[in-house]
Structure 1
């Protein structure tokens, strides 16, 4: 079954159309990347799937269920998003316990303490972090909390919007290893937005190259690793990022 299906998706901000006729089919359990320059529409697609970009036409389906515009609680239980900024996405005046408990409270889910403890363990944070505030954590620790929060409702799909770009390279490697392990252990599907092709090589199975709101190529990651992307723009993108953060491509899992 498809985890995410997009059909002829157009997305606009006011009178400006930023995504044009995007169609994609992402399988359950797959890790798929959207890559391209800033402003190519990558993050806008994630926001539409998550219900944060209401002005769209076409089709969006998650795990076989068509999503409506705006807030869709059924979809929200299955799809969660991890944002780029691990500090800005966490409430500065709420403890980590409160941040992780909030999705459970909203959805009327019990066993709050047990679930919070289990999720902190799952993302590699011990219990001494539970009652700290975001400013008392490092960037990597905050991003682990953001990932934990996204997983509190046991979703099947994670939308990852540049989840490591605000972190130091050494910390990026830790978060990528965490994401790879969580995908394996929990059978997750990832849709990742990034401009960093070594990250795609390490974490993903397939990728779509976007330019000016359109998909110009869909390819297996094997073609990326071997430098055999077909479209001229895709090859330009690969050449422009050659050697940048290359160590991430060889990060041990």
Structure 2
């Protein structure tokens, strides 16, 4: 089954069109990356799927259901997004317990204590973190909370917008390992935005390369090991990154 399908997607901010004619499919259970320079339109595609960039034309469907414009409560049970900045995406005056309970309150879901405990354990945080505030957590712990919040409604599709780029290098590997384990254990589908090719090599099955709002190439992640790309821009991006081998 196809988890995410985009067809002829154009996205605008006001009078400025920032994404043009984007089409691709992500299979259920797949991890798919959008890569490219800053400003190429990667995050805007995720925002359109999530309902945060409602000025678009074309077709978006998730798990076979056509996506409407704007926020859709029913859709949030299927698809959730993890943002780049874990400090900015968490309420600074609310403890972790409130942050995790909020999706359950909005959707009228019970057994909240048990669900909070279960999801905290799934992201590697023990129960003492429930009543801490974001400023009392490290960057990696905050991102674990953000991932836990995204998991509360048991979605099948996760949109990951540079989920490690705001973290210290020493913490990035922990979060990537966590995301990889969650995908395996919970059967999740990932659509990930990143500029980091080693992350794509580690996390993803396929990648789409974006340049100036358009997809110029879709390739298997294995191409990162030998640079076997067809498009000239993709080849330049690969060369500029130094390849896909992770640093020590």
- Cα offset for 1:77? 0.8
Matched-pair contact (CA < 8 Å) for 1:169–1:245? no
Residue deviations 1:168-194 (CA, integer Å, cap 9, x gap)? 111000000000000000000000000
Shift of 1:244: 8.2
Tell me if the contact between 1:82 and 1:163 (Cα under 8 Å) persists in the aligned partners: yes
Does the CA-based 8 Å contact 2:201-2:244 persist in structure 1? no
After superposition, residues 65-214 of structure 1 pair within 5 angstroms as 65-214=65-214
Q: How many residues align?
A: 248
User: For 1:68-107, what per-residue CA distance to the aligned partner results, in whole angstroms no more than 9, with x for missing partners?
Assistant: 1111122111000000001000000000000000000000
Consecutive unaligned residues of structure 2, counting only runs of 5 or more, are: none
Return the alpha-carbon distance in structure 2 between the equivalents of residues 186 and 229 of structure 1.
32
Match of 1:224 in 2: 224
- CA deviation digits over 1:107-138, x for unaligned, max 9? 00000000000000000000010100000000
Q: Indicate if the aligned counterparts of 2:224 and 2:244 stay in contact, CA closer than 8 A.
A: no
1:230 Cα offset (Å) = 1.4
**What TM-score results when the alignment is normalised by the length of structure 1?**
0.96
Query: Cα distance, 1:246 vs. partner?
Result: 2.1
SS for the counterpart of 1:118 is helix
CA distance in 1, matches of 2:111, 2:48: 32
Q: Does structure 1 retain, via aligned residues, the 8 Å contact 2:81–2:160?
A: yes
Compared with structure 1, are the counterparts of its residues 245 and 136 closer, same or farther at alpha carbon in structure 2 (3 Å cutoff)? farther
SS in 1 for 2:160: strand
**2:183/2:189 contact within 8 Å kept:** yes
Structure 1's consecutive aligned runs of 4 or more residues displaced over 4 angstroms after TM superposition are none
Q: Is the 8 A contact 2:225 2:243 kept in 1?
A: no
Q: Which residue of 2 aligns with 1:251?
A: none
Q: Aligned equivalents of 1:155 and 1:36: distance in 2?
A: 27
Q: Deviations over 1:130-170 (max 9, x none)?
A: 10000000000000000000000000000000000011111
Segment drifting more, 227-236 vs 117-126: 227-236
Aligned to 2:44: 44
| Alignment TM-score, normalising by the size of structure 2 | 0.98
| SS of 1:237 mapped into structure 2 | helix
Across the aligned residues of Structure 1 and Structure 2, the Cα RMSD in angstroms comes to 1.1
1:10 counterpart residue number: 10
Take 1:172 and 1:117, find their aligned partners in 2: how far apart are those partners?
24
Whether the aligned pair in 2 keeps the contact of 1:206 and 1:219 (CA below 8 Å) is yes
Runs of 5+ unmatched residues, structure 1: 249-253
